[in-house]
Structure 1
Amino acid sequence: MAGSPDSKQDHPEDTVLHLQSYLRGGTSSLLSALPTVIVFPVYKIVFRQQIHNSPVRHAVGQLCKEGPVKLYRGVAPPLLMRTLNGTLLFGLQDTLFRQISLSSPHLLSAALLPALAGFGAGMVEAMVFTPFERVQNVLQNGQNDRQLPSMRSILARLKEQRVQHGFYRAFLPITARNALGSSLYFGLKDPVRGVVAGQGLSPLASSFISGTLTSMAISLALYPLSVLVANMQAQVGGEAKGAVACWRGLWKSRHRSVLLLYRGGSLVILRSCITWGITTAIYDRQEKPSS
């Protein structure tokens, strides 16, 4: 994705090439949607651990008790998000990278440009997809099944709320998580791929391993923010506390234990291995012919 600034030439036909990064990002994310469906029950187990602080066996027991019909309740938003997210994230990062390279070619080190562009792309991503994540978290919370049995009822209830309490609940921690995560991903992906490729592996395998290792590290580092977001967004109505107050309550509910705060973190690693490893490999494979 990210070559040196000097390799980005400002020709008229570049407009078409810029749009290709959006297409490649959407395609790679769409093709990784099947693994998203397969591992969705795993994600749902993680979500229950995040909001109820329960061990794996209790979370699995909750899902078994609810039955297979409700097992995939809430799967639509992440599927839609996967495709749109890839389109926006990869495409916008590439656009920002090119613009920064052309406008300030000597201001920053070339190694930092992908990370800076990723940071900006992550901020825009948060603005666009926070409502999707809000609906997804409400759907996955089994305590909402009676009062909010359908997506239509959830959308109607959220519309009644103020924007900061409704669709954009937990916007600040989501922005921090997405901006930092995207910055780290695009800043580390290519260097890690280069190191792996140096061990004699094929380009496809190198990209897969690079995406896997990078996403695992990011997921673990930013997992507490994901737990905070899940707890802030799981309910509709009630007292709307700020991010700091919610974090204090969350930390207290976990008995000030990092181990309890990271409950479910191992399953996040599994999900990251599958989805981002595949997405990275497909994107890099598509990018190679036009690089």
Structure 2
Amino acid sequence: TSAWVVLGSSSASGIPQEACFSLCLCLFVFSMEEQNHSSGKELQHRTRTESPGKKTWHSQAYALGAVSNFMSTFLTFPIYKVVFRQQIHAVAVSEAVRQLWHEGPQYFYRGIYPPLLSKTLQGTLLFGTYDSLLCSLSPVGPHSLGHRWAAGLMSGVVEAVALSPFERVQNVLQDGRKQARFPSTFSILKEFNSYGLWGRLSLGYYRGFWPVLLRNSLGSALYFSFKDPIQDGLAEQGLPHWVPALVSGSVNGTITCLVLYPLIVLVANMQSHIGWQSMPSLWASAQDVWDTRGRKVFLIYRGGSLVILRSSVTWGLTTAIHDFLQRKSRSRKELKD
């Protein structure tokens, strides 16, 4: 909470420079990977044919997940904010962009800090917890589809419990209708903390928790179940070894978000509500979303085109960066050994 207060009071003027730095860092990462292509192919072969009894988990899995998600969040935040406006107001892309343009550049990166913190923590928990759970479920390899699915499902549960408050604050900050009432992160936290203990959880930080839990657990299970098979299949084609990771992440992110998109819309609408008098139930919220979208599935999926783009870029970059850092870590470890 204290981190949100400090970050919420900071000036947003430095964000574009940080975003440019992240882009340059990302490009530098991939240029380094191209230079080490031949050695990376050998490393790829060794890491994918490890002896079944060798336990490969270590604490670096948490750090690698944090770095990869941190970098991808900066690069994709503008797309995310346009998508959020579509989910809340059911408007076209042009109208969502017009709203942001009308509000001015000083508000364009409003709400960046909660997702930056949450996505970094998400990567830490998602990759680190998955790796440790998978090793607990299957100490000796190879890991079956059932083991990957179970580890992904449980890591998604941990992620939902830890990060739902961040998403809640982020969604309130990005709702243009609440800028006057809640101009900063501190004002939102002050409102939540004015409730009783149960109110802080059910109406404050964990508003919309059950659809978040379902979305995160299923999303993680789908991602980890099919990431390696897709990546392994592409690696056998002799492609540069960052391509399979990029494509695997993009395909998984796209399919997962399209399947779970109705839950994403429901969460955004539920978490944008503030106050005791405007808190409909889960069923009432779902019914309201369905009614306001004209009871048509294609209107529920308004903004789906940008979701495809955002998910492809985000998970493609995240998977590729994570794979690259993981290879470098294993390479250094083998050289020391």
Q: Does 1:249 align with 2:288?
A: yes
Deviation at 1:196, TM superposition (A): 2.0
- Between 88-97 and 156-165, the greater mean CA deviation after superposition: 156-165
Aligned residue for 1:166, secondary structure, equals helix
Q: Does 1:52 align with 2:85?
A: no
Question: What is the letter of the counterpart of residue 74 of structure 2?
Answer: L
Deviation at 1:42, TM superposition (A): 2.1
Tell me the equivalent position of 2:278: 239
Aligned residues: 280
- Conserved? CA contact 1:4–1:110, under 8 Å: no
Counting only pairs closer than 5 Å after superposition, residues 46-125 of structure 1 correspond to structure 2 as: 46-102=83-139, 110-125=144-159
- Conserved? CA contact 1:135–1:167, under 8 Å: yes
- Conserved? CA contact 1:8–1:98, under 8 Å: no
Q: Does 1:137 align with 2:137?
A: no
Tell me the equivalent position of 1:7: 52
- Between 71-80 and 189-198, the greater mean CA deviation after superposition: 189-198
Per-residue deviation, residues 207-227 of structure 1 (Å, max 9, x unmatched):
111001110100111111000
Deviation at 1:235, TM superposition (A): 2.0
Tell me the equivalent position of 1:34: 74
Aligned residue for 1:112, secondary structure, equals helix
Counting only pairs closer than 5 Å after superposition, residues 206-285 of structure 1 correspond to structure 2 as: 206-237=244-275, 238-285=277-324
Deviation at 1:201, TM superposition (A): 1.4
Tell me the equivalent position of 1:126: 160
RMSD, matched Cα: 2.3
Question: What is the letter of the counterpart of residue 185 of structure 2?
Answer: M
Q: Distance in 2 between matches of 1:57 and 1:110?
A: 45
User: Structure 1 unaligned runs (5+)?
Assistant: none
Which structure dedicates a bigger proportion of its chain to helix?
2
Q: Distance in 2 between matches of 1:206 and 1:257?
A: 37
Q: Among 43, 65, 68, which residue is 1:25 paired with?
A: 65
Q: Distance in 1 between matches of 2:143 and 2:138?
A: 10
Q: Distance in 2 between matches of 1:5 and 1:186?
A: 19
TM-score, length of structure 1 as denominator length:
0.90
Deviation at 1:4, TM superposition (A): 9.7
How many percent identity over aligned positions? 45
Question: What is the letter of the counterpart of residue 284 of structure 2?
Answer: A
Q: Distance in 2 between matches of 1:134 and 1:251?
A: 21
Per-residue deviation, residues 159-215 of structure 1 (Å, max 9, x unmatched):
223011110000000000000000000001001112222333122111111001110
Deviation at 1:111, TM superposition (A): 2.1
Deviation at 1:112, TM superposition (A): 1.8
Deviation at 1:31, TM superposition (A): 2.9
User: Structure 2 unaligned runs (5+)?
Assistant: 1-46, 332-337
Per-residue deviation, residues 217-249 of structure 1 (Å, max 9, x unmatched):
001111110000000011211332222221111
Q: Distance in 2 between matches of 1:3 and 1:123?
A: 28
- Conserved? CA contact 1:121–1:182, under 8 Å: yes
> For the pair shown, which has the larger CA radius of gyration, 1 or 2?
2
Q: Distance in 1 between matches of 2:234 and 2:311?
A: 18
Deviation at 1:120, TM superposition (A): 0.2
Runs of 4+ in 1 over 3 A off after TM superposition: 2-6
- Conserved? CA contact 2:86–2:92, under 8 Å: yes
Q: Distance in 1 between matches of 2:157 and 2:260?
A: 15
Q: Distance in 1 between matches of 2:292 and 2:311?
A: 27
Q: Distance in 2 between matches of 1:100 and 1:197?
A: 26
